[in-house]
Structure 1
């Protein structure tokens, strides 16, 4: 009876291991289960998932500049969610998009706190009844904007007020400002929790947008009081019609 030498068995095992390694390289990892611990990728490794058509659906890893990025795409390749760096502001940000690629939700890379999109309205309610020199309530007239007789103002007077959960670092307001009867001068002030965040003067009647005013210190606070005040010098009436107020 012929007996194989141990060296031959070792050679055959080595050859078999080499063949198995070659097969693994060609086939790849079809499935895996990690019961404990985890998977760590080092030295700018990446994870990429493609669908059956070869379209990249998920990518986690370095971009062309070596910065770590996350990209999730819809079926067909349209972007759904991603992270990116802002060259203008030097901060990373995350964003969710609709099927056209338009950003619908993102954080703020400029300031580093709060949201950038979507803009959210701040609802303000009037605390006065419009009535000027020329008004006659009995006539039931309709006016293009709200205004108030300067004689109804007691120094700096709150004309609009609301409450808000502040989610963005900026606020802007648009409305009708300035004199509506005669030529009084007026100063408007926008306050959050009694802190003035912006002010502007107006003499001539105008429809304009004021701001952006910084409200970054209020981000994350709920039920923040918001007031719009006016103070005027001279007789007549002033316009104070809020058209919109946005966190942005």
Structure 2
């Protein structure tokens, strides 16, 4: 005989036990997981092809030892109180605590300690860089040494080449005729396309800013030929010019 302390407490005991276990399994399956948890020094490892998914406007936040945010990934806050999808990396407190890098709606930027964007993509045109603007150009101030042409039809006076990484170009020209009473014209060309207006030149040293003007369409990184062409329109002598400043920039 089965000892009394080993007998089931009734004929329906097994059925009730199975029913109770099924109820607990359903509750576990319906319940939310890991509402709040702390992972210790052992860390968290995702093996194989597994992954971590953040959804429903959630975010991942990395804090320093004082609880200050260092990295926020997911819904990040803006100065007006709204939030957008993206990522922000902050400088340490010793470095000022300001934003170091941001990514909002796919627009990436790197910031200096004064809050200036020093690197970003050009989201207006969708191609190339918005910043930085880097070149610094120097030119001689003695107009008698500037390149020139006596041609009465447009001829190349200056030339260079630039890779198309930004969509717009700025050029500052200095120019003069080298004979009193003479006149001439200059134009800025890129791959056979004139950029900006035709510049009238007389017997006086002056300067003309052209741009920023849109560069002709081309593949990103394509080498584009630039030239300043000139011609004499009246009198004798040469039309002379030099470029004292030039850079490409965003839209």
The normalised TM-score by structure 1 is 0.71
Listed one character per residue, the Cα deviations across residues 175-219 of structure 1 (whole Å, up to 9, x for unaligned) are 213445424443322222222233332235422321111016235
- Where in structure 2 are the equivalents of 1:1-248 lying within 5 Å? 27-30=37-40, 31-35=43-47, 36-62=49-75, 63=77, 64-76=81-93, 77-84=97-104, 93-121=107-135, 143-144=142-143, 146-147=145-146, 152-179=150-177, 181-204=179-202, 205-215=205-215, 217-218=217-218, 220-235=220-235, 236-248=237-249
8 A contact 2:177–2:183 mirrored in 1? yes
Relative distance call for 1:26 and 1:220 in structure 2 (3 A) is closer
Deviation at 1:96, TM superposition (A): 1.1
Q: Is the 8 A contact 2:161 2:224 kept in 1?
A: yes
Cα gap change, 1:71/1:39 in structure 2, threshold over 3 Å: closer, same or farther? Answer: same
Where in structure 2 are there 5+ consecutive unaligned residues?
none
> Contact 2:158/2:242 (CA < 8 Å) preserved in 1?
no
Alignment partners' CA distance in 2, 1:209 and 1:178: 15
What displacement does 1:45 show?
1.3
Contact 2:159 2:228 in 1 (8 A): yes
Would you say how many aligned residue pairs link Structure 1 and Structure 2?
221
Cα pair 1:146 1:241 within 8 Å, conserved = no
Larger Rg belongs to:
2
Unmatched runs of 5 consecutive residues or more in structure 1: 86-91, 131-141
Query: How far apart in 1 are the matches of 2:169 and 2:57?
Result: 40
| RMSD (Å) for aligned C-alpha atoms | 3.7
